[in-house]
């Protein structure tokens, strides 16, 4: 089962009606997300992505974040909204847009970014058990 299929199934099980994004839409969202959350990385390195994963902007301390219980508490407090789930790995292109409360079960050891369409916050899930999740605001 592909990562996109796994994420789709979690969104459906969480009560969302995910709309699959085209590759072009995913790339557009990745660009917008990076302009908000990876500005510090770009200023320091000239790159928008570090080591092929968007979430490295947090693990390499280029944007403020919280992790662990603080990240989960912030994520759980999110009100229902219009949100996106996009790949955070440079070699995968998939994404969905949904309405509702972002499900907790998105933590599937898959590199994804979850954010409202306003980009007022983000939660970055990683494939590495010792990294993340990371919750951040602009």
- Least confident window among 1-5, 29-33, 73-77: 1-5
- Look at the chain and report how many structural domains it folds into: 1
Whether the predicted pLDDT of 39 surpasses 90: yes
What's the CA gap between 90 and 31, in Å, rounded? 12
pLDDT digit string, tens, across residues 91-118: 999 999 999 999 988 877 899 999 999 9
Q: Residue 66 sits in which domain range?
A: 3-136
* The pLDDT of residue 1: 75
Contact 88, 7 (CB under 8 A): no
- pTM equals 0.96
pLDDT digit string, tens, across residues 45-102: 999 999 999 999 999 999 999 999 999 999 999 999 999 999 999 999 999 999 999 9
User: Mapping DSSP to helix (H, G, I), strand (E, B) and coil, where does residue 53 land?
Assistant: strand
What's the CA gap between 18 and 11, in Å, rounded? 6
Whether the predicted pLDDT of 130 surpasses 90: no
């Amino acid at each position: 089962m592909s990562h996109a299929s796994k994420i789709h199934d979690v969104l459906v099980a969480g009560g969302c009606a995910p709309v699959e994004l085209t590759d072009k839409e995913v790339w557009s969202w990745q660009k917008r997300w990076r302009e908000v959350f990876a500005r510090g990385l770009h200023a320091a390195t000239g790159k928008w992505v570090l080591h092929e994963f968007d979430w490295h902007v947090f693990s390499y301390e280029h944007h403020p974040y919280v992790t662990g219980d603080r990240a989960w508490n912030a994520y759980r407090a999110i009100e229902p909204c219009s949100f996106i789930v996009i790949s955070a790995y440079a070699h995968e292109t998939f994404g969905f847009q949904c309405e509702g409360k972002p499900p907790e079960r998105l933590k599937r050891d898959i590199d994804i970014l979850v954010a409202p369409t306003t980009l007022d916050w983000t939660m970055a899930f990683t494939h590495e058990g010792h990294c993340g999740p990371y919750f951040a605001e602009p």
